[in-house]
Amino acid sequence: MAGRIRQSDVEEVKSRTNIADIIGEYVSLKSAGVGSMKGLCPFHDERSPSFNVRPGVGFYHCFGCGESGDVYSFLQKMDHVSFTEAVERLAGRIGYELHYEDGGQASDHGNRARLLAANQAAAEFFAEQLLQPIAEVGRRFLGERGFDAEAAKRFGVGFAPKSWDALTKHLRGRGFSTEELAAAGLVSQGDRGVYDRFRGRLVWPIRDVTGQTVGFGARRLLDDDNGPKYLNTPETAIYHKAQVLYGLDLAKRDISRSQRVVVVEGYTDVMACHLAGVTTAIATCGTAFGVDHIKVLRRVLGDDSGVGEVVFTFDGDEAGQKAAMRAFAEEQRFAAQTFVAVAPDGLDPCDLRLARGDHAVRTLVDTKVPMFEFVLRQIVGRYDLDTVEGRVSALRQSAPVVAEIRDPALRPGYSRELARMLGMDLGEVGRAVKAATSRSRSGERDRGQGERRAPNANEGVQTETRADAPARPFSISELPNDPSTRLEREALQAMLQYPGSAEPGLLAHAAEARFENPSLAVVRDGIAAALGGGVEAITVDRVIGQVPAPFASIVQQLAVLPVPQRNEAAIAGWVRGVLSSLVDRELLRQKVELMGRLTRLAAEDRASYEMLQRAIVEIDRERVALRAE
């Protein structure tokens, strides 16, 4: 066991370390007078900076929450390390050799330090494997997306061999124990012992804001891999997916300097943006963009002035629209202005760069539109504005969006824009916005909190019933009792309570099926987001973490609601049956849509006719297979 670090060494390391450099890796600091720097406090949520750092004396203090200390206590609180580990980390940073009073050595077995070391060794192993003949499939994947060897090296991309224990053997040879590898999320436990978590996959190292590798994201490459498309490191002592952003270590300085951050949806999108010159791009890691991510970005932006920009890029499909709505739900937490950039043809940044070059990616970000305008267009676009009923329904759904714009100077402009979109009188729109404002304030008083409800991406689609459905029932009993809602409710029960009883493929299809009830659709989105980490990631706590706060109660109720089966033996059959019914309903809906398109085709468009016919045949084949299981 390590001895006590000599006090003189502790003091020497501290004197040689600039506290502002260390804190600056977590917080965007600005000069606040002679010898003082200021930023947003990392220990509590604030919009005006009250976190002060004095490099000359080596201390910090927050006048908002009272947190204070030196560089060691800062690291202890931020990274949850011991005092000894904090000293050792800083000593290693400056190349200072520590001495121990009883002749002991550095605390190599300190939890965090060992996990970080294991991850770094794994990252080096994966990067080396990418250069080997066995990684041809990985290099081809990158090449097809416009990434050469230099790009892979820049982002640390690697390859996990299709082996049960290649990484395990390598790291054991480097002195790491099985327990440490399990704690780092690098191995999994099976009936026959431990095995490599990542196998036959392209691997991206996920680094924290300081550049240390805390986890990995891995992309499926092989046809015989039945796992999820993307597999991430599970929650560990050093990896919390709700608090990490891929690429932030590379982007943080440019984000702070330009006061702009671009949020994309995947690892390859981050790579494409950076290579195209958009060096402020970051992405979430297997989870929806949420409150903790906002806190991280706000510290980097230092957005107390409101001049910063957060630009979200989304695919143009339904999933991308849902992602935009989730981002809108958290928009008010930013002091910075939020925008949306959607490429022509719905291409993501990676595909856009491949198809049209670097300039197209830069143009995509530069031609962003305000988040509120994007959301209004999404809502209004779902209604038939040629009918009075359609215009009225669109106004009912969109007026609350304008009402909740936090800058009162912007509301009149958006009221005029909404009136123009709807082709309605400005006075009528203004009255609807005013009424929505009153309802919002009244609702906040009744609930005793200011959580706002974001329009769900499924609201108001196809039927008047859905537009008028309860937005957020306080009890499951308030849900309609029609067959469609019952099916959706039972499917969510099955996915929340018995995720392991369903085949992974069936579970994934069910989590992607369209829902009629907008409130239940929010829960389905939460399950789909959690499923990105594998079936084992579907827990109530994790799903709650993926949905807006007001919907947590619905998740909890669904998780404890009795199922219609009487014994455990029948559960698996019930789960498969209800999920199959949901997926079959979705397939049937897709078939009806395709048949509708078929009837509208021009007679001479033979190629499109045959393509639609093949798609319909494939859906029929899927439905037959579903019933045969």
571-611, pLDDT tens digit by residue? 888 899 999 999 999 999 888 888 887 887 777 778 888 88
549 phi/psi in degrees, rounded to 5: -50, -40
pLDDT for the residue 455? 42
Specify the amino acid at residue 331: E
pLDDT for the residue 211? 86
pLDDT for the residue 37? 86
CA-wise closest residue to 161 among 122, 107, 193: 122
CA-wise closest residue to 211 among 249, 242, 174: 249
Residue 211 DSSP label: S
Could you give the 3-state DSSP secondary structure of residue 312? strand
DSSP annotation string for 147-195? --HHHHHHHT-EEE-S-SSHHHHHHHHTT--HHHHHHTTSEEEETTEEE
Residue 98 DSSP label: P
Paired with 59 in beta bridges are 54, 70
The Cα–Cα gap between 392 and 385 comes to 9
- Which helix (H) or strand (E) segment holds residue 438: the answer is helix 426-447
CA-wise closest residue to 525 among 325, 374, 340: 325
Contact 59, 19 (CB under 8 A): yes
Positive or negative, the CA dihedral 148, 149, 150, 155 is positive
Structural domains of the chain in order of their starting residue, each with its CATH number = 7-94 (3.90.580.10), 111-239 (3.90.980.10), 248-367 (3.40.1360.10), 377-467 (no CATH), 476-628 (1.10.860)
pLDDT for the residue 158? 98
Paired with 341 in beta bridges are 313
pLDDT tens-place string over residues 73-95: 998 888 766 788 789 889 888 88
The Cα–Cα gap between 527 and 542 comes to 8
The Cα–Cα gap between 445 and 450 comes to 8
pLDDT for the residue 595? 85
Length of the chain: 629
How far are the Cα atoms of 499, 502, 540 from residue 511, in angstroms, in the given order?
11, 12, 15
Q: Which residue has the tokens 């398109």?
A: 597
- Return the exposure string of 267-284: e unless at least 16 CB atoms fall within 10 Å of the residue's CB, then b: bbbbbbbbbbebbbbbbb
For residue 629, count CB atoms less than 10 angstroms from its CB and return exposed for 0-12, middle for 13-18, buried for 19 or more. Answer: exposed
pLDDT for the residue 549? 79
pLDDT for the residue 571? 82
- Sheet strand arrangement including 158-160: 158-160, 201-207, 213-220, 230-232
Residue ranges in the chain modelled with pLDDT below 50 = 1, 108-109, 445-473
Specify the amino acid at residue 536: E
Largest CA distance in the chain: 89
Specify the amino acid at residue 12: E
